[in-house]
Chain A
Amino acid sequence: GQQLNQSPQSMFIQEGEDVSMNCTSSSIFNTWLWYKQEPGEGPVLLIALYKAGELTSNGRLTAQFGITRKDSFLNISASIPSDVGIYFCAGRRGSQGNLIFGKGTKLSVKP
Chain B
Amino acid sequence: NAGVTQTPKFQVLKTGQSMTLQCAQDMNHNSMYWYRQDPGMGLRLIYYSASEGTTDKGEVPNGYNVSRLNKREFSLRLESAAPSQTSVYFCASRKDRGEQFFGPGTRLTVL
Chain A: residues with CB nearer than 8 A to chain B?
Answer: 1, 3, 6, 9, 33, 35, 40-45, 48, 88, 90, 95-96, 98-99, 101-104
Contacts and interface: CB of A to CB of B under 8 A. Distances in A.
B100 interface: yes
Contacts of B40: 9, 103
Nearest to A102: B42
Given A88-B43, A98-B45, A1 B59 contact: yes
A54 B59 CA distance: 29
B41 A103 contact: yes
A45 B42 contact: no
B104 A42 contact: yes
A101 B99 contact: no
Contact of B99 (A33, A88, A103): A33
A98 B47 CA distance: 10
Given A95-B97, A98-B48, A98-B58, A42 B42 contact: no
B101 interface: yes
Nearest to B102: A42
B44 interface: yes
A42 B105 contact: yes
B90 A42 contact: yes
A44 B97 contact: no
A43 B45 CA distance: 14
Pick from B40, B43, B50 the residue with the most CB of A within 10 Å.
B43
Interface string B20-40: 000000000000010000001
